[in-house]
Chains A and B, each alone.
Chain A
Amino acid sequence: MSHDEHHELSFIRKYVFSIDHKVIGIQYGITALCFLFFGFCLMMLMRWQLAYPGQELPVLGKLLGEEFFPGGVMTPDFYNSLGVMHGTIMIFLGVVPLLVGAFGNYVMPLQIGAPDMSFPKLNMASYWIYLCGGCVMLASFFVPGGAANSGWTAYPPLSVTATTGQTWWIIGMVFLITSSLLGSVNFIVTIVQLRAKGLTMFRLPFFVWSQLVTAFLLLLAFPPLEAAGVLQLADRVLGTSFFLPEGLVISGQQLVQGAVPSGGGNPILWQHLFWFLAHPEVYVLILPAMGIVGEIIANNTRKPLWGYRPIVYSSIFLGFMSFIVWAHHMFITGMGTSLSMFFATTTMIISIPSVVILTALVISLYKGSIRFNVPMLFALSFLPMFAIGGLTGLPLGLPASDIHLHDTYYVIGHFHYVVAPGTIFAIFAGVYYWFPKVTGRRMSEGLGKIHFWLSLIGMNGAFMPMFFVGIAGMLRRGYDPAAYAANENLLGMVKMSSWSVWMLGVAQLPFILNFFMSIVAGKKVSANPWEATTLEWSAPSPPPHGNFEAVPVVYRGPYEYSTDDRKDDFFPQHLQAEA
């Protein structure tokens, strides 16, 4: 691979239109972190309306303009737009690109000892298509009527009859899905084809396994949504009615699609196609996060992951099962007993591999020698947070209890515990953990700890109240919770949640500061500052084009910590045993 280093590239080819997986990974990382913060800001705006319904938004209310903030008070339409865009941006533009695009792209080829991805140009294409999709989404705020406002689930007929923003949303989604598809093919081929000599499948770090399963989920689950998106686009602009039943009457007027009254379609079809993607998507959000946490826990307990094989088998099983649970999102559509029984049973079954993985990660702590550095703090708190998220999934997965809890704040609390203090904490853990590999410098531990503790409090302060108000029956997607007399006693808890969200916003400042300061002024560290065993740490920090100085050969499993009587308590995968 030495020929890679010889030709000098222009600035643009090297840093902008690069085909190096590391540059693309960084591009993904920075872009997605910006989107993540932007999506979070949208939520901070929404929380004002929830805590102080109908009151003027201080300062910003006037700045955001009369169209969406008449007299400084948010309109319901804008609130709904914020809801859609918060969900879409966080999932499709923030978390998945970070887990797969950034960590997957940067770390995975290094961990398998590859010089790059199998298809570097495809890799570059998937970043630029993703960026286009993101721009379309952002631009949709400025079209007449504002951004999409029919829920991130975009249920027809509401979405078909909504303002122009919805068309932009679909087009944006088509870009994002295309980008994910290109990425997933690339990941699968790379992991199968480009592993270093000696790196058998069961010597792969768990993170690589999680990326492999995730890539299959993306590859198989996204196409139905892309097709469904195109059908919805056709309903909106070509006058078809794939999702529109007969006799729709909107505000007293019969809906006419094209030249004929609407008819023949079925709105439930969209829900099936949508959730056929969106449930595997949950595992796209959680598996790589588990992968990151697994790496960090093995490294910071200084012992091998407990139950490596069961963890791997569980992730594969999780991947399969995630394709046959989707309709548990749709119990309330009027599902019959046998169908709901099937989906409730598969839902209970899918909880088992998740419990196996979580248990294995916790048992891994037993008899370890635990270092409490910042990546480890985030990785450790992932465990109880994900446990809360997982447990609260039970009453939602059982159709009977779901009757009361469906579409309440309980659901919001549940999936945010999985994704926010769950996945996003894993993302932070990964950022602190691999930052030295990317920059050759460490992030500040002090600022990192402030960031960690404040985030932990903010997350729990924001999401824990949602279980209480959810059980009390407060419904989600409500612009003004005070519109229902039954919510009268719940408004205090809503306010507490809002203040915690804003506190969480403040808690990100140390991270932003730390991130940028450490790029230029962080403490310089060696190639392997965490004394880790996996291959990425055998490359220089930052790794040069082509990654490794010599072609790596692998001699052992991924987590050989404290396993024999060597002087060091870790035995890197690429070192040959001394005779």
Chain B
Amino acid sequence: MNSRRYTAIASVLVAVLWLGFATPLLAQDTAAAPSFDVELTGDYGYHLPPNIAPEGTYPHTVDSLIDILHYFMVVLFVGWGIFFVYCLWKFRQREGHKADAKPIKAKASKYAEIVVAIFEAFLLIGLSIPAWASVRNEFPTEEENPLHLRVVAEQFQWNFHYPGPDGVFGKTSPAFLDLATNILGIDPADPNGKDDITATELHIPVNRKVIADISSKDVIHSFAIGVLRVKQDAIPGMRIPVWFEANRTGNYEISCAQLCGNNHYSMRALMIVEDQGVFDAWYAKAAEGPEEFDEDELDD
């Protein structure tokens, strides 16, 4: 009997040592963090990433939903846990204590369950569905002058296709595709395609709505902008639009959220949010066709 007690005490001691000392030390140890080519804007840590969408748009509903849910979960779990621990202590087997098999009426639990169900219904109908409808159905109208672009995923990079100054995308087809010169397969004979921009960094102007059509050339990827709470699978054979707006300039990361092969982990792109003026300058320069310029430089 005693030896059993000792093993229990020893186990609890290990628990205290592990949770109290070893793991906090490990949790602080971030020495292996690599250095990156760019500094990200904003504060990242054990909390939601920065949210650079304007107040009142769906990314903020997503955040409040996550916040409310976690408060709700903590309250439920703590309340429930108190009852649980109380039962374990109060009704432990001991001298002179007997189980009482008469069924009890548990009204409190019934009411608790009803309250939980009503609260879940509120979260669903009050927050989640409107936010989702905003993601899916409330696309910016043409009066709001959104920036249109296409996102074409491939193993293992993100390609951003802008229509250029004429505002019209050139025709694309796998037949024209060339990895070195024409990665999107833009039809060279189509005049609309002459000024199209192909980039591997996403440039967007600040405070302007963006509509991006997400697609993929090969396998399923998932287009995720953490700071804008955008996540949309890029599915070959489908072109799925998303919309978003950023109200803070800076450098942010775009990631691939769906396993897409061996280099999935590093399928990362930079999103640069810049003032409209800076963006326009980049747009005009990029539309002139940087590829030939690059090739000249390579030849030298």
Contact = CB atoms under 8 A, between A and B. Distances in A.
A75 B62 contact: no
A499 B229 contact: no
Given A266-B237, A333-B233, A341 B15 contact: no
Interface stretch (A21-29, A34-42, A230-238, A465-473): A465-473
A286 B117 CA distance: 21
Interface stretch (A88-96, A186-194, A220-228, A354-362): A354-362
Given A306-B106, A392-B73, A400-B61, A484 B253 contact: yes
Given A394-B120, A400-B62, A449 B4 contact: yes
Given A249-B174, A491-B32, A479 B220 contact: no
Contacts of B185: 249
Contacts of A471: 46-48, 66
B236 to A, nearest CB: 5
Nearest to A254: B174
B298 interface: no
Contact of B88 (A333, A359, A365): A365
Interface stretch (B76-84, B162-170, B195-203, B274-282): B76-84
Given A333-B235, A369-B93, A457 B15 contact: yes
A152 B216 CA distance: 21
Interface stretch (A107-115, A126-134, A345-353): A345-353
A363 B104 contact: yes
A223 B60 CA distance: 42
A486 B77 CA distance: 30
A446 B120 contact: no
Interface string A441-479: 000011101101110110001000100110111010111
B116 to A, nearest CB: 7
Given A352-B117, A472-B45, A569 B218 contact: no
A370 B38 contact: no
Contacts of B99: 301-303, 367-369, 561-562, 569
A407 B231 contact: yes
A240 interface: no
A445 B99 CA distance: 23
A332 B231 contact: yes
Interface stretch (B123-131, B143-151, B286-294): B123-131
Given A363-B106, A483-B265, A488-B30, A301 B66 contact: no
Interface in B66-110: 66, 69-70, 72-73, 76-77, 80-81, 83-84, 87-88, 91-93, 97-104, 106, 109
Interface stretch (A203-211, A381-389, A425-433): A381-389
Contact of A301 (B12, B91, B240): B91
Contacts of B100: 303, 367, 562
A251 B8 CA distance: 58
Contacts of B265: 76, 477-481, 483
Contacts of B189: none
B65 A400 contact: yes
B88 A380 contact: yes
Contacts of A333: 233, 235
A363 B113 CA distance: 13
A351 B26 contact: no
Interface stretch (A12-20, A155-163, A276-284, A541-549): A155-163
Contacts of B272: none
A247 B174 contact: yes
Contact of A445 (B4, B19, B231): B4
Interface in B210-242: 214, 217-220, 222, 224, 226, 229-233, 235-238, 240
B257 interface: yes
Chain A interface size range:
35 or more
B19 A77 contact: no
B141 interface: no
Contacts of B121: 348
B133 interface: yes
A144 interface: no
A267 B27 contact: no
Interface string A395-418: 100111101111110000000000
Contacts of B158: none
Contacts of A446: 3-4, 7
Contacts of A301: 91, 99
A219 interface: no
Given A366-B87, A404-B231, A445-B4, A475 B66 contact: no
Interface in B16-46: 18-19, 22-23, 26-30, 32-34, 36, 38-40, 44-46
Contacts of A372: 92-93
Contacts of A483: 265-266, 268
Nearest to B155: A251
Nearest to A469: B46
B48 A404 contact: yes
A563 B101 CA distance: 6
Interface in A284-342: 301-304, 306-307, 332-337, 340-341
A380 to B, nearest CB: 7
B284 interface: no
Given A245-B237, A363-B106, A449-B4, A484 B27 contact: no
Contacts of A252: 177-179
Contacts of B136: 335-337, 340
Given A303-B100, A401-B62, A496 B231 contact: no
B261 A492 contact: no
Given A363-B109, A403-B62, A450-B11, A457 B80 contact: no
A503 interface: yes
Given A250-B155, A306-B106, A398 B123 contact: yes
Kindly list the 8 A-B residue pairs having the minimum CB-CB distance in the complex, ordered from nearest: A245-B237, A453-B11, A400-B131, A365-B87, A369-B99, A479-B265, A252-B179, A158-B219
Given A401-B128, A485-B39, A499-B23, 5 more contacts: A303-B100, A388-B77, A404-B229, A475-B255, A478-B265
